[in-house]
Chain A
Amino acid sequence: MINQEADGELFETLLRLAVTQNHINEMALIPSENELSNYYSFSSQFNKKIHRLIRKEKYTNAIRFLNKYLVTTAVALAIILVLTFCRIMMVQEVRATVVNVIIEWFDNNTDFRFTNQMVPQESNVLCRPSYIPYNFYEQSVERTGQITTVIYINADKQSIYFIYSPAQAGYSFGVDNDNSYYSLVSINGVDAHLFKAKSKKDSNHLIWQDSDTSFSLISTINYTELIKMAKTIAKK
């Protein structure tokens, strides 16, 4: 092993010396710059060619430059925008205007959030209405976290969404005020919020909460059917 290593090192040393010596020999064969200047000249085409090559090189460099700095520029712009927005928001009139816009948006959209102070717990409560409108059947049940969505459909492809979740899960959703009439109805002694659709293409929303569960029924079918369904919901 030691011999092999020594051989390897010896070969490397000899090779280094020989490569250098060979290169010196080759360089010695090249005439001086002064002599060469008498032998060589450059064609008139070289001018055009050199400009073309440089244009190509500059284009490639430009692409490289763009790739490199595009991300940096985007981040810098984002920071500038945020800082500008913060500065604008420091002006009281502007802040008041923005707040008004937000309030106006909330006026047009009712946000429901059913929650209490309890820590959310995994719920296995199964809720189903015993009454289902004529010709409707349960098509699917989806569970996302603590939220369960049951979809009923009929032969005309109309659908009813029955959504429920533990109240402490903090399930929230919005209803478009502009396209509905709001009223309060009673579901088994509990106040429920009914949003009747202004047109047939819009959905009716019925939203309520009992002691521990929040419910909503959403469909384009007549709202009275939703109320009937709501009254027959039982927990298992």
Chain B
Amino acid sequence: MTSIRNFWGDYLLIYLAMIDSEQDELTFINIYEKYRFTIMHTAMLILKDQYLAEDAVHNAFLKVIENLNMFNGLSHSKIKSLITIITKNKAIDILRKENGLLKIPIDTEDYLLTSDEPDPLEALISEQGYNILINCISKLNNLYKPVLELKYIYDYTDIEIARLLDITPQNVNMRIYRAKGMLREMIAREVLAVD
């Protein structure tokens, strides 16, 4: 255990060398000390490979350093959540590269709910319906879920989300639009199944 801590201590110095202000240094040390293994765990859940997970951990730390100002004033739970979202995104980026998947262009795979499907909103206004919605969100593709989380939990703008996820603001907008479309379709399907 001690050796791991020493090992991580070396890396902390490397990361700190990249930070300019004292306030940012303290923020980063706090994040690093409290959540480094959570970051590793999140990356491992997606990548299932030590080597790739380490890459994702490193990329996540670089992203945190780039956006340290966004962590100021956040509660511990929100910091942990934000780091988890960033790490998931970095892990998914690596996974997609490994699988040879290209980024989805914003003008393709457009999703539209057909008029024949039942309106899902009516079904949601009940405890059962709300649980269906939560269940659908949990099943949502990892490409779309982080965008919704950053928008609805953190109230970030498209530009801020784009900066955190390394995509364009237009892409953020398109992902939100598609995520909502997918959710409507999933809910409609679930409601039909229940009926």
A14 at the interface (CB under 8 A from B): yes
Are B138 and A22 in contact, with the CB atoms below 8 A?
A: yes
Are A45 and B41 in contact, with the CB atoms below 8 A?
A: no
Partner of B80, one of A16, A17, A27: A27
Are A10 and B121 in contact, with the CB atoms below 8 A?
A: yes
Chain B residues positioned under 8 Å from A19 (CB to CB): 137, 148-149, 152-153
Chain A residues positioned under 8 Å from B4 (CB to CB): 37, 41-42
Chain A residues positioned under 8 Å from B77 (CB to CB): 27
Main secondary structure of the interface of A (DSSP, over half): helix
Are A30 and B58 in contact, with the CB atoms below 8 A?
A: no
B171 at the interface (CB under 8 A from A): no
Are B40 and A40 in contact, with the CB atoms below 8 A?
A: yes
Instruction: Compute how far the CA of A141 lies from the CA of B121 in the bound complex, rounded to whole angstroms.
Output: 81
Instruction: Compute how far the CA of A22 lies from the CA of B152 in the bound complex, rounded to whole angstroms.
Output: 12
A90 at the interface (CB under 8 A from B): no
| Nearest A residue to B3, CB-CB | A41
Beyond A15-B152, A23-B81, A36-B37, whether A46 also contacts B124 by CB under 8 A is no
Chain A residues positioned under 8 Å from B177 (CB to CB): none
The minimal Cβ–Cβ distance linking A54 to chain B, given in whole angstroms, is 6
Are A27 and B137 in contact, with the CB atoms below 8 A?
A: no
Chain A residues positioned under 8 Å from B36 (CB to CB): 33
Are A45 and B134 in contact, with the CB atoms below 8 A?
A: no
- Bitwise, A51-74 to B at CB < 8 A (1) or not (0) is 101100110000000000000000
Chain B residues positioned under 8 Å from A51 (CB to CB): 14
A26 at the interface (CB under 8 A from B): yes
Chain A residues positioned under 8 Å from B164 (CB to CB): none
Instruction: Compute how far the CA of A41 lies from the CA of B5 in the bound complex, rounded to whole angstroms.
Output: 10
Beyond A23-B149, A30-B41, A33-B38, whether A43 also contacts B137 by CB under 8 A is no
The minimal Cβ–Cβ distance linking A36 to chain B, given in whole angstroms, is 4
A11 at the interface (CB under 8 A from B): yes
Q: Which of B21-29, B49-57, B93-101, B102-110 contacts A (4 or more CB under 8 A)?
A: B49-57
Chain B residues positioned under 8 Å from A36 (CB to CB): 37-38, 40-41
Partner of A15, one of B7, B11, B84, B148: B148
Partner of A43, one of B14, B34, B51, B58: B51
- Bitwise, A5-22 to B at CB < 8 A (1) or not (0) is 001001100111111111
Chain B residues positioned under 8 Å from A45 (CB to CB): 51
Are B41 and A53 in contact, with the CB atoms below 8 A?
A: no
- Bitwise, B129-141 to A at CB < 8 A (1) or not (0) is 0100110011000
Counting from the closest, the 8 A-B pairs by CB-CB distance are: A36-B37, A16-B152, A19-B152, A22-B137, A18-B133, A40-B40, A18-B134, A37-B37
Enumerate 29 A-B pairs (CB-CB under 8 Å) in ascending A order. A7-B121, A10-B121, A11-B121, A11-B124, A15-B133, A15-B152, A16-B152, A17-B130, A18-B133, A21-B134, A22-B134, A23-B81, A30-B84, A33-B34, A33-B37, A36-B38, A36-B40, A37-B1, A37-B4, A40-B44, A41-B4, A42-B54, A43-B50, A46-B54, A50-B11, A50-B54, A50-B58, A54-B18, A57-B18
